[in-house]
Amino acid sequence: MKFISSTATLLKQLQMINGVIGTRTVIPILEYFLFEVEDGRLTVTATDLEVSMRSSLAVEAKENGKIAVPSKLIIEILKTLPEQPVTFTINPENKTVELTSDNGKYKISGESADDFPKFPTVEGASAAHFPASVLASAIAATAFSIGNDELRPAMTGLFFQMTPDEVRFVSTDGNKLVLFKRTDVRAEQEDSFILPKKALNLLRNSLPANDAAITMEYNRLNAHFVFDNLHLVCRLIDERFPDFNAAIPVDTPNKLKVNRNDLLNALRRTVIFSNKTTNQVRFKITGSELQIMAQDLDFSNEAQERLNCDFEGTDMEIGFNARFLIDMLGILESDEVVMSLSEYNRPGLLRPLDQNPGEEILMLLMPIVLNF
């Protein structure tokens, strides 16, 4: 069996799904791509048994066939070849693939396609539809707040909560929390699930730049995303997500409004002088002035900056992890932000002053006990 494909086009498809393949694979066949040619289309599949991705492209072929090829080797050879048509000749009897380019031939030893895991199906699934831009915005706003603690698996993914009125995307690691709402996207019924971080990152890297429609099918065990010529199926995290509504304080009488860029740049400078373990900065808010202080007692380093602000409430001091705040402010787009505070030992809420139409974002950050 033979097929002909452009090196650049094929390489792009392979790189898009290559992130599925783990670096420490116990089962050898999981280090392979599955190539399937049928009716002039090449479908390439990669899986680690938790996440599976499939992409397809048009090729020149007169016959149908399939074979598993080593992922690392095929990507390395395609990277070194200039843009040109390459002929793939598959011999199913001895399980070899021969690549023929303008100036050379390269033979790769493959494996039987029958040994490759079957692509999972999502049976009895519910469905939802998103514009690609909505999903991209949700992932960008929440991904940094997803936890890594394997002892708390529910926090190692992104929580999707869908209702007929809105869709919520929530992430938390116990120290920070992000709630991203879209009121212009709805589901037919109330439902929720937790999408694991690996699948989320693969989804983010492969979403189309245009506003293509994303179809999401899901049941209790799996979620299936479909767009363009790509399919992504992943196993969901079978855990109960924390009650994030209970964590969000309702009574926050102290309101601090400040220019986002001014605060972001001040934090980037002062964090240099903070303790490298805690990244602690002190906020001292009095009237219309915000003082930001950092100190590293081990090296006698310290910094202090003053910013103009609008503040309503009682003068107060509170400590935060500056790195977390920098991450949050870097995601927001509004010129000004509002911090809602209550006590020095209670979480603070961060919102953009101006929200995008159909969108609402809320960030929560736990304070640090001041030690200077």
Which of 147-161, 204-218, 305-319 is predicted least confidently?
Answer: 204-218
CA distance 348 to 367: 7
pLDDT tens track for 166-211? 999 999 999 999 999 999 887 878 999 999 999 999 999 999 888 8
CA 95: distance to chain centroid?
Answer: 37
Please state, as a whole number, how many other Cβ atoms lie within 10 Å of the Cβ of residue 239: 13
Pair (107, 159) in one structural domain: no
Q: What is the pLDDT of residue 26?
A: 86
Give yes or no for residue 371 having a pLDDT over 80.
Answer: no
Domain count, the chain: 3
Which CATH number do you get for residue 134?
Answer: 3.10.150.10
Pair (226, 334) in one structural domain: no
CA distance 319 to 362: 19
Edge-to-edge strands, sheet with 289-296: 301-308, 289-296, 280-286, 316-321
- Residue span of the structural domain in which 96 resides: 2-115
Paired tokens of 101: 């380019």
Q: What is the pLDDT of residue 189?
A: 84
Q: Is the distance from CB of 235 to CB of 122 less than 8 angstroms?
A: no
Q: What is the mean pLDDT of residues 307-334?
A: 96
281-315: b (≥16 Cβ within 10 Å) or e: bbbebeeeebebbbbbeeeeeebebebebebeeee
Q: What is the mean pLDDT of residues 225-243?
A: 95
Pair (207, 145) in one structural domain: yes
Is residue 121 situated within a structural domain?
Answer: no
Pair (286, 357) in one structural domain: yes
340-358: b (≥16 Cβ within 10 Å) or e: bbbbeeebbbbbbeeeeee
Residue 237 banded pLDDT, cuts 50, 70, 90: very high
Is residue 371 situated within a structural domain?
Answer: no
Is residue 370 situated within a structural domain?
Answer: no
For residue 29, the number of C-alpha atoms closer than 13 Å in the C-beta half-sphere is 14
Is residue 311 situated within a structural domain?
Answer: yes
Is residue 120 situated within a structural domain?
Answer: no
Domain boundary (186, 221, 245) is at: 245
Pair (111, 27) in one structural domain: yes
For 300: left if phi > 0, alpha if psi spans -120 to 50, otherwise beta; the answer is left
Q: What is the mean pLDDT of residues 247-266?
A: 96
pTM above 0.85, yes or no: yes
Pair (29, 136) in one structural domain: no
Is residue 324 situated within a structural domain?
Answer: yes
Question: Comparing C-alpha atoms, which of 182, 225, 219 is closest to residue 53?
Answer: 225
Q: What is the pLDDT of residue 372?
A: 66
Is residue 239 situated within a structural domain?
Answer: yes
Mean of pLDDT over the chain:
95
Domain boundary (68, 89, 115) is at: 115
The fraction of the chain above a pLDDT of 70, given in percent, is: 100
Q: Is the distance from CB of 40 to CB of 1 less than 8 angstroms?
A: no
Q: What is the pLDDT of residue 184?
A: 85
Q: What is the mean pLDDT of residues 217-240?
A: 95
pLDDT tens track for 121-158? 999 989 888 899 999 999 999 999 999 999 999 999 99
Higher pLDDT, 289 or 228: 289
Domain boundary (93, 115, 137) is at: 115
Is residue 227 situated within a structural domain?
Answer: yes
